[in-house]
A and B are shown apart, each in its own frame.
Chain A
Amino acid sequence: MKNKKTKAILTSNQMIIVYIMIVLSILIGTKNSAFFDFSTVITLCRVALVTLIFALAEMLVIVSGGIDVSFPAIACLTLYLPVFLETKIWKIDNVVLIFVLAVVFGLAIGAFNAWMISIMGIPPLIATLGTSSIINGALMATTSGKEISNLPASMDALYSSYFFTYTAPSGMTYSLSVLFIVPVIFIILTALLLRKTMLGRGIFAIGGDRNAAKVAGFNVRKIQFFVFMAVGAMTGIAGVCSCILARTAHPTNLMGSEMMVIAAVVVGGTRITGGHGTVIGTVLGVFLIALIENNLIMMGVPTYWQSFVVGLVIVLGTSITSLRAKKIAQSAKV
């Protein structure tokens, strides 16, 4: 019995990602020994910071059986609008207010998404695609793509706050921003939510069998509203973090990142059909994609091949997850 369980763990989706990461790291390291340094970890963390939050949020939606492609647009809105309000209209400087506003806007849009999907019955892909277009169109039309580079001082202060600074043998310094605490908190919260609370189990339930969840007594509507509003709030915060790290509020920069995030989530073992997914898997998926994206050059892949390679990784990752699911469905039953 124990052997079976150990075998299952060793061949699980999460471990496979770890193996791939190890192999890749070795490949990269042999080409560039500077890779085997603590600075790599810090860089990866920095690069993955915002994506982690996005991925955790998207994972919630996908596990519940839906999908949300509006989150980049939400993030764009929640990073731009509060900064715009504070710097141009109210002329105040309060980073806490920025976060609060971001969360409020995110919650509002999330509620709108939830209304369309849960109450009106519009397919999630189309509903969120619509939301994304409306927000993006509105942002582009009103800002013409112009960014606000003069961020309030309090935001900049956060940019310059680090947990620690590490000096590599090469002499360059690498610092881990305090903002890294945000995804860490979300990782813990999400893990607790999904594992320990009935609400979290409810998310799995509606993803597993929506009808069964309803007759079992779950409040399906409430859970769906929670999920989409959580996405809104989390991406709201992610947007602000991204803005702080970039030191500028750009209204459309984050657009187009849906694929990468969904890829990380699916590669991490979450089934697109719903009902299955782990926080560890998602985190690993994000780091794997970040590792690949960030080090393609070091692996000798020219920039113009990068999109294709990432696309290939996504295709392979999703195929493997789906094939596994198919195998289980067809296997002999106990």
Chain B
Amino acid sequence: MEGIKKSFGGVHALRGVNLEVKKGEIHCLAGENGCGKSTLIKVISGAHDADEGTMWIDGKEVSKLRPIDAIHMGIQVIYQDFAVFPNMTVAENIAMNHELMTGAKIMDWKQAHVLAKEAMDEVGADIDPDILLERLSIANKQLVAICRAIINDAKLLILDEPTTALTSKEVDKLWEILQNLKKKGIAIMIVNHKLDEIYQIADTLTIMRNGKYISHGAIGEYDRARFIHDMTGRDFVETKYSPAPSEEVIFEVEHLSRKHAFHDVSFQMKKGDVLGITGLLGSGRGEIGDALFGIAPAEEGKIRLNGKEIQIRSIDDAMKNGIAYVPEDRLTQGLFLERSILDNTMAASIKKYFLKGKLNYGKMEEATDSWIQKIGVVTPSSKPPIKTLSGGNQQKVVIAKWLNTDPRLLILNGPTVGVDIGAKYDIHAMLHELAEKGVGIIIISDDLSELVQNCNQMIVMQHGVVKGHLSNSVSEDELSSALSASGVPAKEAAAQ
């Protein structure tokens, strides 16, 4: 592809992207969230048309691609949400592509089973082919998606952030499968932003930033520094957060447990601490946040905030105790896109402004304006809908929403995902300030550099238990190995 441009109603998703993938090569498309990777994939797969630029498949120029055309030309995409059908069986899902490709009018169920078995054997999966997809775990759903993709003599296989939901063993398995496919001459493109994984698997890579093409080349041409420089536009500066030491315990958790989520979790936070909780997905890291905010309360254990023992059985309980939570998925869980910046900022604290029998909009505007100033959001006023702001500014507003509730403990899940580098620094600076003032800050994240630079204490979770307490004297590599070091797994789930 060359010079691909794509805009959506004023929002430039892609501004001139060049990309080249060769046969039998594993090519990585790297870039931070929001850089336009998803849009580029949609253009390649025919789900969207580019506004400008040209695309060649197998040396032939193509245009006005429909999804079915792309599939015919050998392009298979495995999306982040897998795009599988929850209401159909495994066998049907796997055979689906084949049926559509061959333009069949009749559904051949027997063949579907045969195809499914073939694909699953090749991939090494063992799932009941007659089970409805809605009953499968995420990892198994992804396996079904992969089976579906390889069924059709794919020429170019695109995987969009395939490792987000996998355990490290499953990731290794995935690399194995991809290496096999590579030997068969299939071109593979992986969209990823995790440096370590890219080094593990990629032959070549292309880096994008803010919708623009930045650079490409063999993996050997990239060292850590260049990689980060191209991805973020800034040089890697290693700073570590070190608060003034304190003996005051502001938050502690004892033997917290919830079935199937986490077990016997205990930790202590002192004034000034920024605690990082990390671990692979499914390790319990997100579940602890859910428990502390009352979304999925713990079944056993004690929680003590500022010395007082508290019960958290619901979101209401959590908020009444001054606990705030910035959720993982900003778009669906944190923002009201169509509503104004003012509304979004006030959403969690409306009750405060019910004075003298009615809502005081004047005070709400004042508060919002002051937050806009404090957190550094660029906007002429608080009236425009929040969807007009950039991802970074949106996240700042979500944080401001919670800061407006005057929390004593602020939990953030993936706080800087999809946030531009400038906003990232601002947010981290804000969190440091709060921590020093005595507000407990917990960052749940899988961004190693974020954790190492901003948390003075870290907990590594694995399979629901705390595997280690670390301080930020460790380096990123040490943290990375702590994450992937295998213990004896309680339940490996590559298959059932």
- Residues on A facing B (Cβ under 8 Å): 195-201, 204-205, 207-209, 211-219, 275-276, 328-329, 331-334
Contact = CB atoms under 8 A, between A and B. Distances in A.
A214 to B, nearest CB: 7
B88 A217 contact: no
Contact of B67 (A196, A207, A214): A214
Contact of B134 (A195, A204, A213, A328): A328
Nearest to A194: B107
Given A195-B107, A196-B106, A334 B83 contact: no
Given A198-B99, A204-B88, A215 B106 contact: no
Given A209-B84, A214-B67, 18 more contacts: A197-B107, A198-B99, A198-B105, A201-B107, A204-B87, A208-B85, A208-B86, A208-B88, A211-B83, A212-B85, A215-B45, A215-B47, A216-B97, A217-B97, A217-B100, A333-B135, A333-B137, A333-B140
A198 B106 contact: yes
A156 B96 CA distance: 48
Given A214-B47, A215-B45, A217-B67, A329 B107 contact: no
Nearest to A219: B68
B136 interface: yes
Given A207-B87, A209-B85, A334 B67 contact: no
Given A198-B100, A216-B97, A331 B86 contact: no
A207 B87 CA distance: 9
Interface of B: 45, 47, 66-68, 71, 77, 79, 83-88, 92, 96-97, 99-101, 104-107, 127-128, 131, 134-138, 140, 260, 496
Contacts of A213: 85
B75 to A, nearest CB: 11
23 contacts: A197-B107, A198-B105, A201-B88, A201-B107, A204-B85, A204-B88, A205-B85, A205-B88, A209-B83, A211-B83, A212-B84, A212-B85, A215-B47, A215-B67, A217-B97, A217-B101, A219-B68, A276-B87, A329-B134, A331-B135, A333-B137, A334-B128, A334-B496
The 9 closest A-B pairs by CB, nearest first: A275-B87, A217-B68, A212-B83, A208-B87, A208-B85, A333-B137, A217-B100, A217-B67, A217-B71
Contacts of B260: 332
Chain A binding site: helix, strand, loop or mixed by DSSP?
A: helix
Most chain B CB within 10 A, of A207, A215, A333, is at: A215
Contacts of A217: 66-68, 71, 97, 100-101
Nearest to A199: B105
A209 B84 CA distance: 8
A218 B66 CA distance: 10
A197 B106 contact: yes
B85 A200 contact: no
B8 to A, nearest CB: 16
Given A204-B85, A209-B83, A334 B100 contact: no
Contact of A275 (B86, B97, B137): B86
A205 B47 CA distance: 17
Contacts of A204: 85, 87-88
Contacts of A215: 45, 47, 67, 77, 79, 83
B410 to A, nearest CB: 29
B67 A216 contact: yes
Nearest to A275: B87
A334 B85 contact: no
Nearest to A277: B87
A268 B45 CA distance: 39
Contacts of B136: 333-334
Contacts of A198: 99-100, 104-107
Contacts of B101: 217
B131 A334 contact: yes
Contacts of B68: 217, 219
Contacts of B99: 198, 201
A6 to B, nearest CB: 14
Contacts of A333: 135-138, 140
Contacts of A200: 107
Contacts of B131: 334
Contacts of A331: 135
Contacts of A328: 134-135
A149 B453 CA distance: 86
A189 B130 CA distance: 24
A218 to B, nearest CB: 7
Contact of A209 (B66, B67, B86, B106): B86
Given A205-B85, A275-B86, A331-B135, A196 B107 contact: yes
A59 B403 CA distance: 49
A195 B106 CA distance: 9
B165 to A, nearest CB: 12
Contacts of B45: 215
Contacts of B88: 201, 204-205, 208
B92 to A, nearest CB: 7
A311 to B, nearest CB: 29
